[in-house]
Amino acid sequence: MVIDALAIRPGLRIAEIGAGEGYWLPWLAAAVGPEGRVYAVEVRADKVEALMKLVEDAGYDNVEVVFGRYDDPRLPDRAVDLAITSKTYHHIEDRVAYFANLRGDLSADGRVAHLDDRPDMPFPLSWIMSGHTSDPAAIDQEMTQAGYRRVEAFDFLYTQSFSIYQPIAVED
Ligand SMILES: C[S@@+](CC[C@H](N)C(=O)[O-])C[C@H]1O[C@@H](n2cnc3c(N)ncnc32)[C@H](O)[C@@H]1O
């Protein structure tokens, strides 16, 4: 359902920021197909290594693992059609600066999607996930400050918010 909602078509160039153990990679690699590209961005050396092994073992020719910095995903300029964070938004420190900088990595009609656990999930999940959630209103506010507008929001995930943003065009 997430992949469908993201309207991923073959040939798209996608970056997953905070790819972790690579949960999304099989879905993303299959959705963009051989002509597409998936950049799996991670900041932890052990996870980068594990992701590289996963990519090699699975034979994903269209996935590139990127050793990002905490304040910069180190993606190629203007080359990303869709950047995704999943359970990662709350990990990023200066989010306004981070996503303002990311605008330079997006293609002309590039999008940014955030999936993250909501703080208002039912107890005891709210207690277990305490400190690992993002308030959807705060995501909206920070993304607006970073120069984006929300273009879509979905409510089919039980504990997570899921919204898509696009950069606000700069008037000449
Ligand atoms: C909870 S995991 C989510 C993994 C995966 N996206 C998922 O949905 O299963 C969060 C990941 O974000 C990474 N991370 C933390 N800060 C980051 C940053 N500034 N840029 C990129 N990744 C970051 C962590 O190393 C960790 O692997």
Q: Is residue 110 part of a domain?
A: yes
CA 131 → CA 3, 87, 88, 116, distances in Å?
27, 12, 12, 12
Q: Per-10-residue mean pLDDT for the chain, 172 residues long?
A: 97 98 98 98 98 98 98 98 98 98 97 96 89 96 98 96 93 52
Backbone angles phi, psi at 5, to 5 degrees: -65, -30
CATH number at residue 150: 3.40.50.150
Q: Is the CB of 17 under 6 A from ligand 1?
A: yes
DSSP structure class, residue 90: G
Question: Would the CB of 158 count as within 6 Å of ligand 1?
Answer: no
Residue 79 pLDDT: 97
* pLDDT for the residue 122: 87
Residue 72 is classified by DSSP as B
User: Is residue 33 a part of any domain in this protein?
Assistant: yes
Range of the domain at 92: 2-167
CB of residue 150 inside a 6 A radius of ligand 1:
no
pLDDT value at position 171? 58
| Per-residue confidence (pLDDT) for residue 169, from 0 to 100 | 83
Best residue among 2, 71, 91 to mutate for probing ligand 1, ranked by most atoms within 8 Å of CB: 91
Q: What is the pLDDT of residue 172?
A: 45
- pLDDT for res 141: 98
One-letter identity of residue 30? A
- Judge whether 114 lies within some domain: yes
Per the structure, the count of domains in the chain is 1
